[in-house]
Amino acid sequence: MFKIGLAEDDLKIAGLVKTGLEEQGYLVTIVSNGEEALQTFKETDFNLVILDVMMPGMNGIAVCKSLRSGNKDLPILMLTALGSIDDKVTGLNSGADDYLVKPFHFKELLARIEALLRRQHVATGKDKTDHLLSFDDISLNTYSKEVKRAGILIELTAKEHTLLELFLRNPNRLLSRQYIAENAWDISFDTGTNVIDVYVNFLRNKIEKGFSRKLIHTKIGMGYILK
């Protein structure tokens, strides 16, 4: 459940946006001037705020700067009737993440909100679609434990699954045998075992045989990498 703050003095617009967002399952808090916005949105539990630039008293730009100085993570979307380029640039430079000009289509506002939230969540690692890992044409669902490549279901054993998950959580990154041993097995010292090699081989047979692109590559003397 995402909590969105909306600072907008035009009550008609505010109401429409609130209704629309609530239909999408968002929790919306409306304020109608800059001071109130600053006061309310300082709270840490807002996932995103929408600021109108033109408001009585403190304007959106000032609110944005002030919010930014206290909370660098908060996604801020500016909303305004001003359409001139300089206004947009000023808005974005004051710390906003996006800028939308009125009149706007609700659909576009929604898409921009989603883009911002998506990014926020990817970056902070707590994406709501976190259980879906994918790379190239392979995907792994940590809930259903289903693995598919190019749409084709692949059956993996528990260890193979764990190993693939480790690779999918670290794409384009070389994983040393040591690292794999610690994270997919519970080996913290060198036991002289070759389980990892054997399992990489098992995994390759299942996810690469019959497909043209290789996924797991060997870097001799270093480890394995998914790319």
Partner DNA sequence: AAGAAAGATTAAGATTATATTAACAAAGTA
Partner DNA sequence: TACTTTGTTAATATAATCTTAATCTTTCTT
Query: If DSSP codes are grouped into helix, strand and coil, which group holds residue 140?
Result: strand
Residue 81 near which of a copy of itself, DNA, none (CB within 5-8 Å, type-dependent)? none
For residues 133 and 165, the answer to whether their CB atoms sit within 8 Å is yes
Return the number of the residue (24 or 205) whose C-beta is nearest DNA: 205
Asked if 82 interacts with a copy of itself (CB under 8 A), we say no
Q: Per DSSP, what are the bridge partners of residue 78?
A: 51, 99
69, 126, 188, 189: which one binds a copy of itself (CB under 8 A): 69
Smallest gap from residue 161 Cβ to a copy of itself (A): 7
Residue 123 near which of DNA, a copy of itself, none (CB within 5-8 Å, type-dependent)? a copy of itself
Asked if 210 interacts with DNA (CB under 7 A), we say no
27, 35, 135, 206: which one binds a copy of itself (CB under 8 A): 135
CA distance 13 to 70: 28
Q: Which amino acid is at 186?
A: D
CA dist 182 to 74, 123, 131, 171, 200, Å? 35, 25, 22, 18, 15
CA distance 101 to 57: 21
Q: Per DSSP, what are the bridge partners of residue 7?
A: 31, 51
Return the number of the residue (30 or 49) whose C-beta is nearest a copy of itself: 49
CA dihedral sign of residues 72, 78, 83, 87? negative
Asked if 153 interacts with DNA (CB under 7 A), we say no
Asked if 171 interacts with a copy of itself (CB under 8 A), we say yes
Return the number of the residue (8 or 160) whose C-beta is nearest a copy of itself: 160
Asked if 153 interacts with a copy of itself (CB under 8 A), we say no
CA distance 118 to 130: 11
Asked if 182 interacts with DNA (CB under 7 A), we say no
Placement of tokens 């730009």 in the chain: 61
- Give the number of residues in contact with DNA, rule: CB under 7 A: 23
Q: Give residue 156's Cα distance to chain centre.
A: 28
Single out the residue of 2, 7, 86 nearest to residue 39, CA to CA: 7
Interacting residues with DNA (CB under 7 A):
157-160, 177, 185, 191, 193-195, 197-201, 204-205, 218-223
Interacting residues with a copy of itself (CB under 8 A):
44, 69-73, 75, 85-86, 88-89, 92-93, 95-99, 105, 107-108, 110-112, 114-116, 118-120, 122-124, 134-137, 143-145, 157-159, 161, 171-174, 219-222, 225, 227
